[in-house]
Chain A
Amino acid sequence: MKKIELLAPAGDLERLKINLLYGADAVYIGGKKYGLRANATNFSIDEIRAACTFAHKLNKKVYLTLNIVFHCEDIKDVDEYIKQVVECGIDAFIVSDPFIISHIKKNYPQVEVHLSTQNSTTNAKAISFFEQAGVDRVVLARELSLKQIEDIIKEVNVDVEVFIHGAMCTCFSGRCALSNYITNRDANRGGCAQVCRFCFKTESSDFTMATKDLNACRYIKKMIEINVRSLKIEGRMRSIYYLATVVGTYRKIIDAIYNNELTDEFLTEQEYILSRVANRETSSQYLEKEADETDQYYTGRNEASNQDYLGQVIEYDKNNHLVKIYERNYFEVGDEVELFTPNKDTVVFNVQKLLNEEKCEVFIANHPDNIYYIYLDTKIDIPPYSMIRLIKKNMKEDAYNND
């Protein structure tokens, strides 16, 4: 039996590398055209080629979203675009339009086609239609329970992919034009303005319908048991820290399950790590029950910024025990921090010595985007793209500063 796939979102080449290094088996990306995140950085043809080369060297895969709802004007040049992307070595297209599915399967049968969640597929009979049309995998609607997912998988002959983490739509995907009507931005062509996170008014009060995020970390074991083929993380526009943490955490959970090492204590620990990186509350949404009043917000947009991410490792000088980092958030000598690596190693330590770019000793790193050096004597391998997060502020220093 194939090991379940961990599939992560990449808004650009750097995010793609982070995802794959932190344990994703495959990434999905958007090109400059035809994807549902028109305002993300997205990949040029050259970048798609570079992405495929990087992934394939690691024996991993790249999927391209081609899942807009095509208007007549969009469909004119799509043949040439698909040809170019295939030549880059793409492993699969994620598509919602059956005409595009049939076009790809007819002309490029070696490339997989995955049916996008934009189709909101909720039953096996519909899947059998798409199976006949040539799809290799179906990304199910996010409105299904685990039981419903299990029942579908029993009846179909194609791979099934399920969302496990990240933002949720309020409405069925593909079945929402709120953005079109309120902002004139076409949700089904990549312009979604997330109108469902706006605050509306009723006669007597505010009305909000923004959803909490999905977190399925407690259901991964069950998903493996019921033969889900791929676990998808949402968020092509998320930060590299978020992706490294979420992908790394799910990688650990999946590996622990396959190694029979999953314990409740371990899961609780991983859940805590996921909660620290989230900017919204999470829930299991439809997986266990119908989504209800506990799965949404009543106060409009509700997003906390996260200050835990301190910086990205550029290199480690083993001889002098200095970690060179690109700083992202304020920290200082005395703070308790954790360094985590793409190899799943972690080391928790107190910042004892801090140097600026000129290697002069300082006590505070308070210039985001600058280079700093942290003293760390450790035996673990610290490759580039390792990251440092805050565990605990130096309370004594804080108290001192506040005086």
Chain B
Amino acid sequence: MEVIVKPINSFLDDYIKLGISSIMLPLEGYAVEYTNYYSLDQIKNIRRKYPNIKLFISMNKNLLNDEINKVKEILQELEKINIKAIFFYDLAILKLKHELNLKIDLVWSQTHMVTNDKTCNYYYEQGVKYALLSKEITKEEAITIKKNSAITPIIELISYPCIAFSKRKLVSNYYSHTNQDKKCFVDIKDIKTKQQFKLIENQDGVSFIGKKVMNGSKILRDLLENDFSYILLKEDLFDHEVFLNCLTNILYYINNYKNMTKEEDRLWLKMQNELLGRNTNFFYRKSIYKVK
């Protein structure tokens, strides 16, 4: 199993020292739902500096008509610099891959919509190699997708999860309405459930990021035993040291789980929970949709 890390800066040595060989970088102007982004030049520099790293690029925003030509150029540029795959939301990117006959692999990355095996297979037949599974499905659903689909699933295992994205300038509107100095973020809390979210605004809109860590450590053994090839860990909003500790623990587990006893498993999970909290998100919780 490979761990893909979405870092918070351009200095990758900390991750490489731990043994990380796959990095995901959101492309500035063409990605949303992250806390930091990388320009094409920065990505090229990173490619030059770290030639052996597998680079995944996220271009997961809803594209407008007048952005398509630029996207076409970017895809051709990325093709030249040995990119492992592109995370995409907008189907224009898949269409462009076909039209331009690009060899670059794609990750179907429609946030909350990657939820079943049949549609994963549909995209696989369309030439999409990977799928970033929805964070709102259960562990069993993820395993079903893995078993029944030819696509290579990627599980976002540990992150402050992105929950929604709006094109509206909700943060600016708030500060303007309340006559406060403008910032690009605001923290909000739901009164009833006490859940907190960080709203981060840029030129494309507002990303809603949950302020409770999604900690999927508990399902890691199941993923390994079911031959999942990739997990994604996002550093957004994490303290760098905490994230590195978490990463160290995850890599240790991947390398040693086969020989670990139940008691060692329990202690390892206890350590992860102490570091990250116990929120397993939807891995063990089915959402409902029919209210009785």
Contact = CB atoms under 8 A, between A and B. Distances in A.
Interface of A: 38-39, 68-75, 96-99, 102, 119-126, 128-130, 132, 141, 143, 148, 151-152, 155, 170-172, 174-178, 180-182, 184-191, 195, 198-205, 207, 209, 211, 286, 290-293, 295-296, 298
B121 interface: yes
A99 B289 contact: no
B215 interface: no
Interface of B: 62-68, 90-92, 94-96, 110-113, 115-119, 121-123, 135-137, 141, 144-145, 148, 163-170, 172-174, 176-178, 180, 186-193, 195, 197, 208, 210, 282, 285, 287-291
Contact of A148 (B65, B115, B117): B65
Contacts, number: 201
Contacts of A121: 91
B165 A171 contact: yes
A129 B113 contact: no
Nearest to A128: B95
B176 to A, nearest CB: 6
Q: Among the interface residues B62, B148, B195, which one has the most CB atoms of the partner chain A within 10 A?
A: B62
A286 B282 CA distance: 34
A320 B197 CA distance: 65
Contacts of A170: 166, 168, 170
6 contacts: A180-B287, A185-B289, A186-B289, A188-B115, A200-B197, A293-B176
Given A39-B290, A185-B288, A200 B188 contact: yes
Task: Please name the 5 residue pairs, one residue from A and one from B, whose CB atoms are nearest each other, closest first.
Answer: A191-B289, A125-B92, A186-B287, A189-B289, A176-B164
Nearest to A120: B62
B191 A171 contact: no
B290 A143 contact: no
A176 B288 contact: no
Contacts of B112: 69, 174-177, 180, 187-188
Contacts of B197: 200
A209 B287 contact: no
Contacts of A126: 63, 90-92, 95
A168 B103 CA distance: 39
